[in-house]
């Protein structure tokens, strides 16, 4: 579990200027967010104070868990001008609707809508070409195709949505070590996805001439309903009749029902890449 935090710490070193960080020696047993002991975190024995909101007690969190809350003026850029004309740097923990990937080499790429790219294109990540106008899953697949995840056994991090709840995001933060179990991180928690199986399924339905149908909810509805515990034999029978080789597709489907419930959105990302020859 600590590998994911280590990768984030490595990828965002430039955010944590010691001269600008008000750290202190904690008196608690562990970080209030990730629950790791103070001698296990990336900056051992150093904490930062955080208050979730008015009326809440102040908590001691490690520098890594505090990272999404730090204004990333140099790394991202200026989000807006505050009162008096002072610049407010963008924060990773405020990029709602955006995602990212930290590669095994400890490099951060962000998946952003065009508005964010326009705003942050002059920041460090923008100048390095690490801001991408696409969805988070598309970015992960793009980096996979480019070989950036070739050392996945060393760990990588997939942020599906930075959201606005850094406490939940960092509390469930973890690395993935294989496409067969990609941990999709968001401010709703962490959920595993068998992306390797999804890629196999996408290739199979594409080969059977069903690419257009495979990106629609209707096509996968019988499989999704079965994964939800609402099996309809007649619908499943009709689904198998639409395939030239249904048993091969069924055998390739992810075993985990949670992965099966995400078939439609994931296929929408995979099928175009297969059609382009990128996967």
CB 160 within 8 A of CB 190: no
pLDDT band at 68, cuts 50/70/90?
very high
* C-alpha closest to that of 108 among 130, 139, 78, 135: 130
* C-alpha closest to that of 51 among 162, 159, 166: 166
Residues with Cβ within 8 Å of residue 61, at least 6 apart in sequence: 31, 32, 33, 34, 47, 48, 49, 50
Note the pLDDT of residue 265: 93
- Tell me the CA distances in angstroms from 178 to 34, 153, 183, 194, one per residue in order: 23, 7, 9, 9
pLDDT band at 52, cuts 50/70/90?
confident
Note the pLDDT of residue 278: 77
pLDDT at 215 over 90: yes
Q: Determine what percent of the chain is predicted with pLDDT higher than 70.
A: 96
pLDDT at 83 over 70: no
- Tell me the CA distances in angstroms from 133 to 103, 123, 130, 144, 200, one per residue in order: 18, 15, 10, 17, 26
Residues with Cβ within 8 Å of residue 271, at least 6 apart in sequence: 202, 205, 206, 211, 214, 215
Q: Which residue has the tokens 């944590």?
A: 16
Distance CA 86, CA 12 (A): 23
pLDDT band at 22, cuts 50/70/90?
confident
């Amino acid at each position: 579990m600590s590998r994911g935090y280590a990768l984030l710490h490595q990828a965002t070193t430039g955010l944590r200027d010691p001269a600008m960080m008000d750290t202190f020696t904690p008196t608690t047993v562990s970080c209030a967010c990730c629950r790791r002991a103070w001698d296990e975190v990336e900056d051992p024995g150093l904490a930062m104070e955080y208050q979730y909101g008015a009326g809440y007690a102040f908590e001691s969190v490690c520098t890594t868990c505090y990272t999404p809350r730090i204004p990333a003026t140099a790394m991202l850029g200026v989000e807006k001008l505050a009162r008096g004309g002072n610049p407010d740097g963008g924060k990773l923990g405020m990029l709602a609707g955006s995602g990212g990937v930290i590669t095994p080499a400890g490099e951060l790429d962000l998946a952003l809508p065009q508005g964010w790219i326009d705003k942050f294109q002059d920041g460090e990540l923008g100048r390095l070409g690490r801001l991408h106008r696409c969805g988070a899953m598309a970015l992960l697949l793009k980096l996979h195709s480019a070989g950036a995840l070739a050392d996945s056994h060393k760990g990588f991090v997939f942020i599906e949505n930075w959201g606005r709840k850094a406490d939940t995001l960092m509390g469930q933060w973890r690395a993935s070590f294989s496409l067969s179990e990609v941990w999709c991180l968001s401010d709703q928690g962490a959920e595993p996805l068998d992306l390797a199986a999804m890629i196999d399924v996408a290739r199979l339905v594409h080969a059977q001439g069903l690419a257009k149908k495979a990106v629609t909810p209707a096509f996968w509805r019988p499989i999704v309903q079965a994964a939800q515990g609402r099996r309809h034999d007649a619908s499943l029978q009709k689904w198998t009749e639409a395939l030239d080789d249904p048993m091969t597709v069924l055998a390739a489907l992810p075993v985990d029902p949670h992965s099966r419930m995400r078939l439609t959105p994931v296929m929408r990302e995979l099928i175009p890449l297969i059609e382009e020859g990128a996967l």
